[in-house]
Amino acid sequence: MAINTGVNETGSSSLFLPEVATLIDKREMTDVDSFFTFKLKNRPLGHRYGQFVELSIPGIGEAPFSISSPPTDDHTFEMVIRKVGQVTAAIHSLSPGDVVGIRGPFGTSFPMEDLKGSSLLFVTGGIGLVPARSAILYALNNRGAYKDITILFGCRDPGQRLFTDELAAWSTREDITFMETVDKCEDGTWDGHVGVITTLFPNLKAIDPTDTYAIIVGPPVMYKFVIMSLHDMEISDKRIIVSLERNMKCGVGKCGHCQINNLYVCQDGPVFYYDDIKLLKEAI
Amino acid sequence: MDNVTISKKDFLDFVEKKIQEGDSKVIGVVGKGSSYVFDRLESSSRLCLDYDVTILPPKKYFQPPREVLLRFITKKADSYITENANEPLTIIGIHYYDLAAISLMDRAFSEGNRDENYLKKRENSLLIGMYPTQAFKYRFAGSVVKGVQPYKAADLMLADMGDGNYTVEIVTEKGRAYLSSAVQKPFTYSLEELENAKKRIKDDQKIPVPIEMSPDFLVKNHGHPVWEVFGEKCYSCGSCVLVCPTCYCFDVLDEVDLDLKNGKRIRVWDGCMLENFATCAGGHNFRKTKAARFRHRIFRKGVNLPLKYNYYGCVGCGRCAHACTSSIAGPVKVLTYIQDNQ
């Protein structure tokens, strides 16, 4: 089974010319993360689950951001953007109605169609929930197409939790398993599980390793430990799907910043079957 | 491929005529201090084809160190307009290994997504290559550039016959048309004499591992101490990638004009040996150590590009070895160290 690949259509003659998108909605999620809804002016974005766009504000700069929503009927697309630098600070200062530049969508996607009929185990950490959410929402919207759905989410502390309304709704659904954890909580505001995400694994009910696909998205440090836990559960590398973070500066496979050996994460990834990259020494 | 003979004097007269005609900007090799550079020719008298190596390869004409991609009005995302500055260009005297490098760049910028900013400049160019007439102590091109690779980029190819004449190999029809107004003599040398003229200068260095075996050799030595030993001495200055004819990585930046109203998105040369090349938002650096960056550069040349494009990413020009302040960058030195320390 292969991850969807192919040359990305940018819809313009220059690889670097953005299209105009309008900010539709914006709300704060944490001290540093805000949720944004955008819509392209002239066409639906046409993205798949787990892809990313290059978003720019002229004079400030351009940066890659994961799309957090599955394709929608109203052609809007959602992102959660963490304020860490100049570009993201400028995006945080936007108001609904403001316009930004968008290039993309770029990259490979979670093969949600191919996974139908199997069980899904999402293992998400921190802001990794953002791209994973596009696949999670698709799976939940098409609940009947999958067997068991398990979602694990971990973050540094309770203040870092994203999509809290949705997490609450997932935790009460009876047709899925949802568990979350925080690495630490020192102010007593959390009465849930505490520990890194792999400490949730012993609490999982039995998973059929021959019929489950694991989807992992999280900070770089998380992958190795999660994959070791999945190996303990006898899930094979062919059933482990990862989305990797790199500095995807140009998005079109030229600038070199996102290279892992001969792969360009912006084009060959960010979504990979672990089996395809496990021998690349710098991947995980 | 046809061959013709042109005397050196007639060739210079021809170049002068082309400069005066002004149909295309004429670039050639000229002296600069004790070195050589590619620069615009206002007169053929400045042209110096008897050179060892240029400081920078001619890639600067196709991927300029600083290139405007877009113009805009600050903070107005509906104001972006593309820019693709290019003009007809003739470049004279490109050594064969630099042509091989251009043929790799052509591939990198056309495969998958076509990068028109690069490709338009290439389409608008005519390249006149040549074989070296001076030795360069770091050069090992003869042991890595094989076959027709240089001819994939050249329009015309000069070989100094050592008797006041050039043999000109006519590689493309575009080259033939360009040359039509030159005073040409029939080609009366034997093919053996031509081959000897091409190989007149023997390289001072040779790659210690046959280039075809370098991917396996390097992969096998991924964990070799060489990366730590050499990486330790690296200043992360980026000189090696700056002067490399096959390095094309870039950064994209916004620049606001002094009026704070208008601005441009530019791309500038960047390089994997610089400390923060692989750093992501939030600060995680995927190649944090000098050893990891040093290995990446060599693997990029010897393993990754061959895997991706079926080309070796090194053409043996020796510029990196020459430019390196720590004397560690040259692939010959790296591979020799690995071989000597098995």
Number of other residues whose CB lies within 10 A of the CB of residue B4: 17
Residue A154 has pLDDT above 80, yes or no: yes
Residue A129 confidence (pLDDT): 98
Share of chain B above pLDDT 90, in %: 95
- Report pLDDT digits (tens) over A184-205: 998 889 999 999 999 999 999 8
- Report pLDDT digits (tens) over A63-102: 999 999 999 888 999 999 999 999 999 999 999 999 999 9
- As a whole number, mean pLDDT of residues B93-120 equals 96
Cβ–Cβ contact A257 with B under 8 A: yes
Average pLDDT, chain B: 96
The residue among A12, A13, A16, A266 with the most chain B CBs within 10 A of its CB, best to mutate, is A16
Question: Which residues of A fall within a CB distance of 8 Å from B80?
Answer: 17-18, 58, 101
- Report pLDDT digits (tens) over B163-200: 999 999 999 999 999 999 999 999 999 999 999 999 99
Cβ–Cβ contact A33 with B under 8 A: no
Residue B309 has pLDDT above 90, yes or no: no
Question: Which residues of B fall within a CB distance of 8 Å from A101?
Answer: 77, 80
8-state DSSP, B57: -
Q: Which residues contact A271 (CB under 8 A, 6 or more apart)?
A: A3, A50, A107, A108, A109, A110, A111, A241, A242, A243
Residue B24 has pLDDT above 70, yes or no: yes
Instruction: Quote the CA–CA distance of B61 and A59 in Å, as a whole number.
Output: 26
Average pLDDT, chain A: 93
Residue B147 confidence (pLDDT): 82
Residue A7 confidence (pLDDT): 38
Question: Which residues of B fall within a CB distance of 8 Å from A246?
Answer: 278, 280, 286
Instruction: Quote the CA–CA distance of B99 and B105 in Å, as a whole number.
Output: 10
Residue A180 has pLDDT above 70, yes or no: yes
Question: Which residues of B fall within a CB distance of 8 Å from A85?
Answer: 281
| Interface contact B278-A63, CB threshold 8 A | no
- The ipTM is 0.92
Instruction: Quote the CA–CA distance of B306 and B314 in Å, as a whole number.
Output: 10
The DSSP bridge pattern shows strands A76-82 and A271-273 to be: unpaired
Residue A8 has pLDDT above 60, yes or no: no
Across the interface, of B73, B117, B282, the residue whose CB is closest to A84 is B282
| Interface contact B75-A17, CB threshold 8 A | no
- Report pLDDT digits (tens) over B256-291: 999 999 999 999 999 999 999 999 988 899 999 999
| Interface contact B77-A56, CB threshold 8 A | yes
Residue pair B269/B245 in contact (Cβ under 8 Å)? The answer is no
Q: Shortest Cα distance from B149 to chain A (angstroms)?
A: 21
Token duo for residue B206: 């040779």
| Res. A13 pLDDT band, cuts 50 70 90 | low
Residue B281 confidence (pLDDT): 87
- Report pLDDT digits (tens) over B203-234: 999 999 988 899 999 999 999 999 999 999 99
| Res. B310 pLDDT band, cuts 50 70 90 | confident
Q: Shortest Cα distance from B79 to chain A (angstroms)?
A: 9
More confident residue, B16 or B213: B16
Residue A54 has pLDDT above 90, yes or no: yes
- As a whole number, mean pLDDT of residues B230-258 equals 97
Residue pair A50/A134 in contact (Cβ under 8 Å)? The answer is yes
Residue pair B117/B84 in contact (Cβ under 8 Å)? The answer is yes
Question: Which residues of A fall within a CB distance of 8 Å from B215?
Answer: none
Token duo for residue B154: 């050249």
The residue among B104, B117, B247, B252 with the most chain A CBs within 10 A of its CB, best to mutate, is B252
**pTM of the complete model:** 0.94
Helices B116-123 and B96-110 pack at an angle, to 10 degrees, of 140
Written as one string, the DSSP assignment of chain A is ------PPP-SSSSTT-PEEEEEEEEEE-SSSEEEEEEEESSS-----TT-EEEEEETTTEEEEEE--S---TT-EEEEEEE--SHHHHHHHT--TT-EEEEEEEES----TTTTTTSEEEEEEEGGGHHHHHHHHHHHHHTGGGSS-EEEEEEESSGGG--SHHHHHHHHH-SSSEEEEEES--SSS---SEES-GGGGGGGSPP--TTSEEEEEES-TTHHHHHHHHHHHTT--GGGEEEE-----SSSSS-S-TTEETTEEHHHH-SEEEHHHHTT-TTT-
Residue B308 confidence (pLDDT): 84
More confident residue, B1 or B103: B103
